Amino acid sequence: MLTLILCLGAARAEPGSAQRIVSLAPSTTETLFAVGAGPQVVGVSQYCDYPPQVLRLPKVGSFLTPNLEAIVGLRPTLIVGLDTSANDREIRALQRMGYRMLLVNDDSLEGIEDGIRNIGVQTGHGAQARRLIESMRTKMAAVRERLKGAPKRKVLMVVGHDPLVAVGGGYLNQLLQMADCVNIGAGFGSQWPRLSMEYIIAAAPDVILDGQMGTDPATPSGFWSRYRTIPAVRNHRVLGYDQNPVLRPGPRVAQTLRILAELTHPALFAGTAPRGGAGARL
């Protein structure tokens, strides 16, 4: 349902190993490689950096501004992108030219699963896609199992504090809920709300996850330490996270759930090998 399949000129290519695939977003690139369609990928967006071998592939611009000429030059038989860009000028132009396009949704966990399933089917790797989804579900269930009976944590998760863009909805909000967190950014009708500092102080989160900390260890202490009444600041629970994979709505969401659960409920994961992501502390 959530996935939009646009098969224009579908006769051009049949699914199989002869496909030449161009991927327009980091998350769809990850999915293509995760379902085993990696060898068929001939071009990726400039933001794609996972798995590492995509760094060697030709770049076709970003998913905000795909480069038509570069895409056409790669003679793709399938172009995979995000449905949020369905109305973009470049996407419509590619459709008019008759390219087979697969635009998937990555706004929710359900959308991500649908996207993986569809990418699998369209590239002739349906079985691998099903196994991938199964293994993601198993990993996530394992994290849920470990969290059983855990106290709810009030959490603020921001992409960065300059500006303060918070996680309000989408798959990250779902993952936070699965990690037994109450997301203080949720419920304002926006997937990425810009919250006011006053509200954050009043909401008093127990944990603050700040994506800007991983990259800029000097700033956050200066930024957050002004607000000592926030429990997260007082108790040194302002934590960084690695934006890659956390901000990638693709097959690594299970890993992201594990990272979020470890950061918000460290006691329950003590003694287990960290799966990465735990960044600098305030």
Partner 1 sequence: MSQAPASGSIPDSTALETGASEPGARRPYLTRTRMAAVLGALTLVLIVVCAAAVMFGSVPVDFTRAIADRTSPDHAILFAARMPRVLMGAVVGAILAAVGAALQALVRNPLAEGGTLGISSGAAFGAILAIVLTYRFGGGSAIVPAAGFAAALISTLAVYRLGQMHGRVEPFTLLLVGVIFNTFWSALILLINSLVNLYQTRSILFWLVGSLEAPTYGEVAAVSALGAAGFVWLGWHARDMNLLSLGDEPAHDLGVDVDGARRAIFIATSLMIGGAVSVSGMIGFVGLIVPHILRLAFGADHRLLLPASFLGGAAFLVAADLAARVAIAPAEIPVGVITALCGGPFFIYLLRREGHRGIAV
Residues near partner 1 (CB under 8 A) are 47, 62, 65, 159-165, 188, 190, 193-199, 201-204, 211, 215-219, 222-223, 226-230, 243, 247
Residue with tokens 């996207």: 115
- Asked whether 100 and 90 are in contact (CB, 8 A), the reply is no
Query: What is the closest distance, in whole angstroms, from the C-beta atom of residue 60 to partner 1 in the complex?
Result: 14
Query: What is the closest distance, in whole angstroms, from the C-beta atom of residue 17 to partner 1 in the complex?
Result: 32
Query: What is the closest distance, in whole angstroms, from the C-beta atom of residue 192 to partner 1 in the complex?
Result: 9
Q: Around Cβ 21, how many Cβ atoms within 10 Å?
A: 27
Instruction: Indicate the residue among 19 and 45 with the shorter CB distance to partner 1.
Output: 45
CA 24 to chain centre: 14
The sign one gets for the Cα dihedral 157, 160, 162, 168 is negative
Instruction: Indicate the residue among 128 and 190 with the shorter CB distance to partner 1.
Output: 190
The Cα 280–Cα 214 span in angstroms is 6
Q: For 74, phi and psi rounded to 5 degrees?
A: -85, 0
Residue with tokens 């998937």: 104
Instruction: Indicate the residue among 62 and 177 with the shorter CB distance to partner 1.
Output: 62
Instruction: Indicate the residue among 150 and 201 with the shorter CB distance to partner 1.
Output: 201
The Cα 38–Cα 281 span in angstroms is 36
The sign one gets for the Cα dihedral 248, 253, 256, 260 is positive
Query: What is the closest distance, in whole angstroms, from the C-beta atom of residue 217 to partner 1 in the complex?
Result: 8
Single out the residue of 114, 116, 90, 101 nearest to residue 10, CA to CA. Answer: 101
Instruction: Indicate the residue among 99 and 223 with the shorter CB distance to partner 1.
Output: 223
Query: What is the closest distance, in whole angstroms, from the C-beta atom of residue 37 to partner 1 in the complex?
Result: 24
Query: What is the closest distance, in whole angstroms, from the C-beta atom of residue 136 to partner 1 in the complex?
Result: 24
DSSP state of 59: B
Instruction: Indicate the residue among 97 and 202 with the shorter CB distance to partner 1.
Output: 202
